[in-house]
């Protein structure tokens, strides 16, 4: 067993074996999800629902009952409806980080608080990349079949000339695409790269189309505002790279999607494993090198009822 200060470890509720199971107390591990939810644009905009290990079935109603004027003793109209089920399945998101026992000994509370934030950020980035672009994380691919880039509604910013309304006209064109197909534009998810375009855009009366909430440097990476009179969330990491067009943001009805997480964070802390570490992937014994590995994992799921309830705003990157 590595030369670890057992007094400090026991104060955190660990056992005395070589595996530090339970080294992270529950109150330190739970906020990983809070950080993920706080930093994920998708999680902030779409409703959260309970999710079980086997997924969740969502009833989808089709057909709308109608009422008609009828004559006295006349035949009453008959309408029909149907219901189908869509299933939201969960997929595991996990990460491992390795740290020396000396670092843990020196300041376990401060170190773990910092790593908790970084873990939350990595969970949020992976979730948003899958939800918006169908992208994976690292060397993995997205386990979900749906993502917002599948929408057929798309507007390239810069299509309208300044004389015809410029960016304001482009934003309204996206609204038109949704309205003309019976959809609603309720909110926006925007990449920070879109901000310079919005800050110079005005409507037909000269009023700014984008109004940012009061800036607060401590508020976190996601900034709220109003665009076309609708709530918006702006952050880095929304941008998606295509062959010729970069997606800078999305507008639509985010209530047409749901997300969930199975239970709470699960974690393991050990010094007994042998892991591939470094760019070369050499196998390293944690015990032999006085290292401790922390594994965090969660099961997320999301379901998009209709990808065409969204419009994506793109920019020509010159490719």
- Mean pLDDT, the chain, integer: 78
Asked if 88 contacts 301 with a C-beta cutoff of 8 angstroms, the reply is: yes
**Beta partners for residue 275, in sequence order:** 284
Predicted confidence at residue 189, as pLDDT, reads 95
Asked if 249 contacts 268 with a C-beta cutoff of 8 angstroms, the reply is: no
If you average pLDDT over residues 104-127, what whole number do you get?
76
pTM of the model: 0.77
Q: Minimum mean pLDDT among 16-25, 59-68, 275-284: which range?
A: 16-25
Task: Evaluate if residue 12 carries a pLDDT over 50.
Answer: no
Which span out of 62-66, 115-119, 275-279 was modeled with the highest average pLDDT? 275-279
If you average pLDDT over residues 253-280, what whole number do you get?
83
Please state the domain extents for the chain.
Answer: 6-58+86-143+258-304, 150-257+306-316
Q: Minimum mean pLDDT among 37-46, 105-114, 266-275: which range?
A: 105-114
Closest by alpha carbon to 232, among 191, 274, 277?
191
281: left (phi over 0), alpha (psi -120 to 50) or beta: left
The 10s digit of each residue's pLDDT in 167-181 is: 999 999 999 999 999
The 10s digit of each residue's pLDDT in 206-216 is: 888 888 776 65
Domain spanning 150-257+306-316: CATH superfamily? capsid protein of prophage domain (3.30.1930.10)
Dump the DSSP string for 54-105.
TBEEEEEEE---------TTPPPP----EEEEEEEPPEEEEEEEEEEHHHHH
Which span out of 77-86, 263-272, 275-284, 300-309 was modeled with the highest average pLDDT? 300-309
Predicted confidence at residue 244, as pLDDT, reads 54
Asked if 199 contacts 188 with a C-beta cutoff of 8 angstroms, the reply is: no
How far apart CA 315 and CA 319 sit, in angstroms, is: 11
Residue 26: band (very low, low, confident or very high) from pLDDT cuts 50, 70, 90: low
The tokens of 250 are what?
């999305």
Q: Do domains 6-58+86-143+258-304 and 150-257+306-316 have the same CATH topology?
A: no
Helix, coil or strand: residue 39: helix
The secondary structure of residue 19, as a DSSP letter, is S
The enclosing H or E element of 265 equals: strand 257-270
CATH 3.30.2400.10 fits 6-58+86-143+258-304, yes or no: yes
The 10s digit of each residue's pLDDT in 119-144 is: 778 888 889 999 999 988 777 889 99
The tokens of 198 are what?
């919005």
Predicted confidence at residue 52, as pLDDT, reads 73
Residue 297: band (very low, low, confident or very high) from pLDDT cuts 50, 70, 90: confident
Helix, coil or strand: residue 162: helix
Task: Evaluate if residue 238 carries a pLDDT over 90.
Answer: no
The length of the chain is: 319
The tokens of 248 are what?
């800078």
Half-sphere exposure of 40 (CA within 13 A, CB side): 28
If you average pLDDT over residues 247-257, what whole number do you get?
93
**Beta partners for residue 300, in sequence order:** 91, 261
Q: What are phi and psi of 214, to 5 degrees?
A: -50, 125
Buried b (16+ CB within 10 A) or exposed e, 288-303: eebbbbbbbebbbbbb
Task: Evaluate if residue 194 carries a pLDDT over 80.
Answer: yes
């Amino acid at each position: 067993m590595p030369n670890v200060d057992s007094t400090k470890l026991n104060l955190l509720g660990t056992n005395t074996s070589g595996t530090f199971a339970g080294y992270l107390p529950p109150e330190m591990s739970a906020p990983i999800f809070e950080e993920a939810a706080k930093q994920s644009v998708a999680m902030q905009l779409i409703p959260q629902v309970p999710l079980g290990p086997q997924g969740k079935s969502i009833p989808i109603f089709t057909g709308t009952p109608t009422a008609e004027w009828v004559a006295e003793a006349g035949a009453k109209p008959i309408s029909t409806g149907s219901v189908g089920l869509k299933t939201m399945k969960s997929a595991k998101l996990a990460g491992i980080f390795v740290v020396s026992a000396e670092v843990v000994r020196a300041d376990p509370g401060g170190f773990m608080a910092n790593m908790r934030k970084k873990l939350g950020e990595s969970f949020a980035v992976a979730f948003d990349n899958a939800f918006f672009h169908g992208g994976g994380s690292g060397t993995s691919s997205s386990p979900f079949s749906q993502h917002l880039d599948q929408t057929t509604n798309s507007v390239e910013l810069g299509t309208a000339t300044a004389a015809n309304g410029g960016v304001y006209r482009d934003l309204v064109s996206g609204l038109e695409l949704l309205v003309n197909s019976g959809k609603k534009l309720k909110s926006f998810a925007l990449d920070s790269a879109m901000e310079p375009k919005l800050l110079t855009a005005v409507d037909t009366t000269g009023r700014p189309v984008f109004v940012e909430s009061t800036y607060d440097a401590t508020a976190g990476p996601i900034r709220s505002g109003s665009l076309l009179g609708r709530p918006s969330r702006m952050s880095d990491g929304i941008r998606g790279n295509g062959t010729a067009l970069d997606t800078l943001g999305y507008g639509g009805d985010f209530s047409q999607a749901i997300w969930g997480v199975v239970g709470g964070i699960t974690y393991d802390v050990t010094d007994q494993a042998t892991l591939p570490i470094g760019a070369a992937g050499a196998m390293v014994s944690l015990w032999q090198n006085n290292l401790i590995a922390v594994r965090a994992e969660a099961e997320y799921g999301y379901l998009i009822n209709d990808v065409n309830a969204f419009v994506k705003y793109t920019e020509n990157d010159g490719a």
